[in-house]
Amino acid sequence: MGFEYIEGGYPLSNEKDVAFFEQVRRLGLRNSTVCAFGMTRRKGIAAADDPGMVALLRSEAAVCTVVGKTWDFHVTHVLRVSLDENLAMIRDSVGFLASSGRRVIYDAEHFFDGYKANPEHAVATLQAAAEAGAEAIALCDTNGGSMPAEVEELVRVAREAVGPNVGIAVHCHNDCSLAVANSLAAVSAGATQVQGTINGIGERCGNADLISVAACLGLKSGGEYVVLANEPAECSAALARLTELSRYVDDVANLTSALGQPFVGRSAFAHKGGMHAHAMQLAPSSYEHVEPALVGNTRRVLVSELSGRSNIAALTEQHGISDPEVTKAVLAEIVRRENMGYQFEAAEASFSLVVQKAMRTFTPHFKPSATKSRWRATGARTASTRSRRSTRRTWSMSTRRRRSSWRDRKSVV
């Protein structure tokens, strides 16, 4: 698909992640580079002796992503170290990996909140990573509470602080439902890398949805950005597979795909109201911002009591029907049945039966059998007879019990 980096996990956290890095080396990936994720060295220990640093090297990943603290509150209250020691931890960790032949991406955790609290220390952490050899620095909106204007402004601040030789990336969470918007704002301000996940899967409210980010940059930038490829033609081919990729990931993760997910959801290009469907017949762009095929999706016309003749006409055309009288009859039947509680939005086969009946081409799949009817009647009478016999047997047994009980009492007396 053309995603440049795939972050594979933390090779020190569990055996599964260790096995992942051992096996992924055999895949022979052509377009993507696998990254190992880790944290800066612990306080009071050299980077070369830190188990986390050693695990990153043992993973043999060509790129290591190292996360460090940016917010002074976290430095003093979570790590419980001085601000100077925090800078040393960042510098030592990045420098150790870079000098060991690894490319390093530094993740500045809580950068936006940290900058608001202590701009000087936040900028100093970025400069420490850049000076130690990081090739890119990811500004993380870890709490997901930043606004697009803030992100855009601080990306420019970060670019100025580290200079033109270090790339700026952005890592946004979706707690304010702005992860995609914030990512796009960062790109507008000069960020060259967007971190996120397919379909926005992630902790709490999720991460930036790379499906939407790629589609927006590739289709809404007027050709300014080429995503998932090096050439425009390759970019178009990759974008046309976004729907397939989105649904594949949900399937593997055992998740139900969101119907209303932008670009790739089944409802992203679904039209229900009669006015919408009528306009779509005349000019699809009147109610669609892009062609569905550009992202591998399809247009759907739904049927309900809100439908007009245009909805029905669009669907009956799929059956090779253009007779306006048939359309009128189908619409009347749909409205009647929807009023009774039926729903046809996701019942294409039921709609097909309504069309066949309106055309008088419907052939019943089952026919009542006269022989079966008589057998059922006989069976019913037989069952009734058995029931009466059973009742008589029950009465007889009850009578016997009473008589037996009377004889027992007589004998006792």
CATH number of the structural domain spanning residue 86 = 3.20.20.70
Q: Is residue 54 part of a domain?
A: yes
Mean pLDDT of the chain: 86
What residue ranges of the chain have pLDDT lower than 70?
Answer: 273-282, 304-319, 322, 345-346, 370-413
The pLDDT of residue 275 is 64
Radius of gyration of the chain (CA): 34
To the nearest whole percent, how much of the chain has pLDDT over 70? 82
The pLDDT of residue 333 is 80
Rounded CA separation 277/268 (Å) = 14
DSSP assignment string, 285-342: GGS-SS-GGGGT---EE--STT--HHHHHHHHGGGT---HHHHHHHHHHHHHHHHHT-
**CA-to-CA separations, 116 to 33, 70, 120, 157, 191, in angstroms, rounded:** 34, 11, 10, 12, 20
Q: How far, rounded to the nearest angstrom, does the alpha carbon of residue 272 sit from its chain's CA centroid?
A: 24
The whole domain housing 95 covers 5-208
The pLDDT of residue 273 is 59
Q: Is residue 81 part of a domain?
A: yes
Main-chain dihedrals φ then ψ at residue 306, nearest 5 degrees: -85, -5
Q: Is residue 316 part of a domain?
A: no
Number of domains in the chain: 1
Task: Say how many CA atoms lie within 13 Å of 194 toward its Cβ.
Answer: 34
Q: Is residue 163 part of a domain?
A: yes
Q: Is residue 132 part of a domain?
A: yes
- Determine which helix (DSSP H) or strand (DSSP E) holds 67, and give its type and residue range: strand 63-69
SS3 for 63? strand
Q: Is residue 61 part of a domain?
A: yes
Please report, as a single letter, which amino acid is at residue 204: R
Q: Is residue 215 part of a domain?
A: no
Q: Is residue 123 part of a domain?
A: yes
The pLDDT of residue 365 is 80
The pLDDT of residue 231 is 86
